[in-house]
Structure 1
Amino acid sequence: MTTRTELLYSGKAKSVYSTDNPDYMIMLFRNDTSAFDGKKVDQLDRKGMVNNKFNAFIMEKLEAAGIPTHFEKCLSDTESLVKRLDMLPIECVVRNVAAGSICRRLGVEEGLTLNPPTFEMFLKDDALGDPMVNEYHIDSFGWATRDQVETAKSLTFRVNDVLKKLFDDAGLLLVDYKLEFGMSKGQLVLGDEFSPDGCRLWDKETRKKMDKDRFRQGLGGVIESYEEVGRRLGINFD
């Protein structure tokens, strides 16, 4: 059995540990939640378990569709075994519907359908507020190669094709999401997580928000909404 050996990284909602196998790490999902670069924080009961199981379900769906991910298996309610990656310091964002920062930046109305979807990249740096960047910045500063950027973009849109339908069949709109990628033995693969913490999901009929915006905007029922999304997808949280 793979066991934890050393804490490598502790982020806002997850901790990552090395293991006795140098090719793998253990990702621990905690109950911590935060918004606005850590300015708003709280502990939400069951959140670590819900996000771990949610992420496992989504990663398995993406793997089945031929999208390489770092996910291996769940080890417990709150822990997953993942491949060790050399992460790119870039977040890839696809927006199917206008919400969040794009509305503030461009003055567009929340809820506007974006056709085609937009693709944006952000430098992963909390101290700088995760600024938006483009291919020229990435190339000039050596954050990733041109091939890595093109592959990440292609994989991000493939994820969109898979997950838009998955959520649509569950009566949900996949509004937007962020992905992170890393290198594993010469291959670029999807890393980090996919959960309601890192995407926006609305009920297709009512447009009720069912993601982390419930925490950001003080709407309440955060984990209850996460669990409802999961149940619609067929995830068992018991």
Structure 2
Amino acid sequence: MGRTLLYEGKAKQIFETDEAGVLLHRYKDEATAFNARKRGSWAGKGRANAAISAAIFAYLERRGIPTHFIEQVDEVTLKTRRLQMLPVEVVVRNVAAGSLSRLLGYEEGRPLRAPIVELCYKNDALGDPMLNWYHFRELGLTDEELGFCEGLGLRVNAALRPFFGERGLELVDFKIEVGRDAEGRMMLADEISPDTCRLWDKKTGERLDKDRFRRDLGGVEEAYEEVLRRVTGGEDS
């Protein structure tokens, strides 16, 4: 299978292939935070995120949630459908943390009355600002697309909260992306991993996600390996 580098992002390289409508996502060991103002890396990060994302995508597919995932081809590479991405990051929050705590004046760890969905404009130069539907309409997105994004976020949340809960993890919040395939079908894209989710141990409250890197808490590699162990060691059928 031929490989031509199509795009390189903060955490992944995306390659074209000889198969029509198929891409390869290669997960890197590099990490960034604060819109790439902080950078680092640790051994095994790409391997852990690839395996976690593959397991979760497969789980969601079995529950009727469409994703771009096809298969895992090696320890750091996933084969996916090629999509035209929407310029939207969908954030779903179950517990106050990070920017939501600052926005609402809530202490971190405060449970929310109901999940909160935020739509952010995927634009690094602008810092990925949170916008409302009026802004996104100005940017050319349709109500169908915006409704799908919000609905998909809530469906993923409803599936993953019990999935992680059974593994002793609290799904505090997460970010997903959405794209359209060649037939125009919208579906879940990007990744689901400790890079894009806040995951706290339900008993101890220990953070097992990228906040350990953001906040210089140490034990980042161990946290990712623990999530990998729980996700792949106790995966539902």
Gaps of 5+ in 1: none
1:148-195 CA-to-partner distances (Å, cap 9, x unmatched) read: 111121111111111000011111100000010000111100010000
1:69-97 CA-to-partner distances (Å, cap 9, x unmatched) read: 00100111111110000000100011000
- Is 1:169 the counterpart of 2:157? The answer is no
Q: State the partner residue of 1:124.
A: 122
Taking the aligned partners of 1:18 and 1:37, their CA distance within structure 2 comes to 26
1:97-155 CA-to-partner distances (Å, cap 9, x unmatched) read: 0000111222111111012111101011111111010111111220x211011112111
Taking the aligned partners of 2:66 and 2:121, their CA distance within structure 1 comes to 22
Taking the aligned partners of 1:196 and 1:223, their CA distance within structure 2 comes to 11
Given that 2:94 and 2:171 are in contact with CA atoms closer than 8 Å, whether structure 1 keeps it comes out as: yes
- Secondary structure of 2:155's counterpart equals helix
Taking the aligned partners of 2:42 and 2:20, their CA distance within structure 1 comes to 32
Given that 2:96 and 2:172 are in contact with CA atoms closer than 8 Å, whether structure 1 keeps it comes out as: yes
Given that 2:198 and 2:209 are in contact with CA atoms closer than 8 Å, whether structure 1 keeps it comes out as: yes
- Is 1:3 the counterpart of 2:2? The answer is yes
Taking the aligned partners of 1:235 and 1:151, their CA distance within structure 2 comes to 32
**TM norm structure 1:** 0.95
Pick the aligned partner of 1:155 from 136, 152, 156: 152
Given that 1:57 and 1:235 are in contact with CA atoms closer than 8 Å, whether structure 2 keeps it comes out as: no
One-letter amino acid of the structure 1 residue matched with residue 2 of structure 2: T
Q: State the partner residue of 1:202.
A: 200
- Secondary structure of 1:156's counterpart equals helix
- Secondary structure of 1:234's counterpart equals helix
- Secondary structure of 2:117's counterpart equals strand
Taking the aligned partners of 2:142 and 2:18, their CA distance within structure 1 comes to 31
Q: State the partner residue of 1:90.
A: 88
Taking the aligned partners of 1:124 and 1:141, their CA distance within structure 2 comes to 11
Pick the aligned partner of 2:190 from 152, 169, 192: 192
Taking the aligned partners of 1:223 and 1:61, their CA distance within structure 2 comes to 24
Pick the aligned partner of 1:183 from 143, 166, 180: 180
Given that 2:49 and 2:193 are in contact with CA atoms closer than 8 Å, whether structure 1 keeps it comes out as: yes
Q: State the partner residue of 2:18.
A: 20
Given that 2:52 and 2:232 are in contact with CA atoms closer than 8 Å, whether structure 1 keeps it comes out as: no
Cα deviation for residue 235 of structure 1 reads 4.1
Taking the aligned partners of 1:125 and 1:107, their CA distance within structure 2 comes to 26
Identity of aligned residues (%): 46
Taking the aligned partners of 1:27 and 1:233, their CA distance within structure 2 comes to 20
Which aligned pairs between 1:32-111 and structure 2 lie closer than 5 A?
A: 32-111=30-109
Gaps of 5+ in 2: none
Cα deviation for residue 53 of structure 1 reads 0.5
Q: CA RMSD in A?
A: 1.1
Taking the aligned partners of 2:56 and 2:42, their CA distance within structure 1 comes to 22
1:26-64 CA-to-partner distances (Å, cap 9, x unmatched) read: 101011001111111112101111100010000000000
Q: 1:168 to 1:29 in 2, by over 3 A?
A: same
Given that 2:55 and 2:232 are in contact with CA atoms closer than 8 Å, whether structure 1 keeps it comes out as: no
